[in-house]
Structure 1
Amino acid sequence: MKLLHIDSSVLGPHSVSRQVSAAIVDRLRKATPRLEIVYRDLTSTPLAHLSGSHLAAAQGATPEAALLHDLAAGQAVLDEFLAADIVVLGAPMYNFTIPSQLKAWIDRIVVAGKTFKYGAQGAEGLAGNKRVIIAISRGGFYGSGTPAAVGEHLETYLRWVFGFIGVKNLELISADGVQVGPEHREKALADALQAATNLHAA
């Protein structure tokens, strides 16, 4: 069984989402014999954002020489995702949505003919056989009924985009209010780490 572990926080060891995603992976490693783990840090090895040249190459145009390395990196990212049985994703909220590094990764895995296709009934996801667990961290509180709920574009986006490629039952572990104050941060992190420990085995 293969697990793909993705982190996207720019905060290194100070990141809440990194601590929680690591705890999730540790839980699954201990519970699953012979689990093969691939790790990708999107801040230490960032992907380029898509350009017109990327789209032209995807449509069959001969890519510029300068683009070849990045196209190979994008293909490697897609191959990692396709090969994974489990995906563990660390996703902090930056300015009400996902980090741009994570968006660049998503742009490389949401690919027609690979993770979704269009048919007579519209779009059909092709990646529904994966277990996807997301460690979310948010500085404030964005739950339903809160004043800031309308500004929540992290969890809502991730639910939609993974649902689009076929993953309907995302497992989310959230640490909320980590910038409200030290006590809130400590409790949010402790609760999220406990939730990671309680995850069922793969």
Structure 2
Amino acid sequence: MATVLYITANPNYESSYSLAVGNEFVSAYRAANPNDEIVHLDLYKTNIPEIDAEVFSGWGKLGAGAGFDALTGAEQAKVGRLGELVDQFVAADKYVFVTPIWNYSFPPVMKAYIDSICVAGKTFKYVQGIGRVGLLRDKKAVHIQASGSVLSPGSALAEFEMGHRHLNAIMEFFEVPSFESIFVEGMAVDPSQATVIKEKAIQQAREVAQSF
């Protein structure tokens, strides 16, 4: 049995294209893999501490050999929660990221989450003479991204796109060997085709889910 971490970062629950496609992906995956566990992590309903002065202070104390009890209450709460998030990520076997494009990138809450899971010794490590080595070589991931413009690779505006490219860099950083993409895009460019675009993406999502 595999564990799938379904990570969504869109507060627009009623009319989100990315969530509509993501939910169809999950339904198709569940039908194909009824014994797998799917854990939904809604980043807009999740406590994700920002990496601030208290976090750095807490990490510094731990790095100097102090016990967790030596941290202040605020430091314990933030550092402890960040540890929970990265441990949950590492424990999962597969990842489904669902995001919209806001100003050519994903919502800020996704960046905060990425910061919480980029932890040396957990998702990557440094090896003398080699450098950075990813630690998630047995995982796989898919990214469902919606945008009003057409930003996918090969498009005229592809160089402006910073959402999927950022996630792709992180997956490479962790050495996740399989990272697929499903783009739901162009709805603002041609609103008359919005429904067609969504249905096409849903069909792709169902197909990808079968072999994910």
Q: Is this a same-fold pair by TM over 0.5?
A: yes
Name the counterpart of 1:41: 42
- Distance (Å, rounded) in 2 between the aligned partners of 1:178 and 1:68: 44
- Distance (Å, rounded) in 1 between the aligned partners of 2:158 and 2:142: 22
The aligned runs of 1:24-103 (5 Å cut-off) are: 24-61=25-62, 62-103=70-111
Name the counterpart of 2:205: 196
One-letter code aligned to 1:164: F
Q: Is the 8 A contact 1:97 1:154 kept in 2?
A: yes
Name the counterpart of 1:173: 182
Larger Rg computed on CA atoms? 2
* Residues 29 and 143 (structure 1), Cα distance of their counterparts in 2 relative to 1, 3 Å cut: closer
- Distance (Å, rounded) in 2 between the aligned partners of 1:144 and 1:83: 31
SS in 2 for 1:133: strand
Q: Deviations over 1:76-101 (max 9, x none)?
A: 21121111111111021111112110
One-letter code aligned to 1:14: S
Q: Is the 8 A contact 1:17 1:90 kept in 2?
A: yes
- Distance (Å, rounded) in 1 between the aligned partners of 2:76 and 2:132: 29
Does 2:148 correspond to 1:148? no
Q: Is the 8 A contact 1:8 1:91 kept in 2?
A: yes
Identity of matched residues, % = 28
Paired residues, number: 202
Q: Is the 8 A contact 1:21 1:134 kept in 2?
A: no
Name the counterpart of 2:146: 137
SS in 2 for 1:33: coil
SS in 2 for 1:198: helix
- Distance (Å, rounded) in 2 between the aligned partners of 1:145 and 1:85: 30
Q: Is the 8 A contact 1:24 1:88 kept in 2?
A: no
Q: Is the 8 A contact 2:97 2:144 kept in 1?
A: yes
How far 1:161 moved relative to its partner? 1.0
One-letter code aligned to 2:138: N
Which of residues 186, 192, 199 is equivalent to 1:183?
A: 192
* Residues 146 and 171 (structure 1), Cα distance of their counterparts in 2 relative to 1, 3 Å cut: closer
Instruction: State the TM-score, normalizing by the size of structure 1.
Output: 0.92
Does 2:128 correspond to 1:115? no
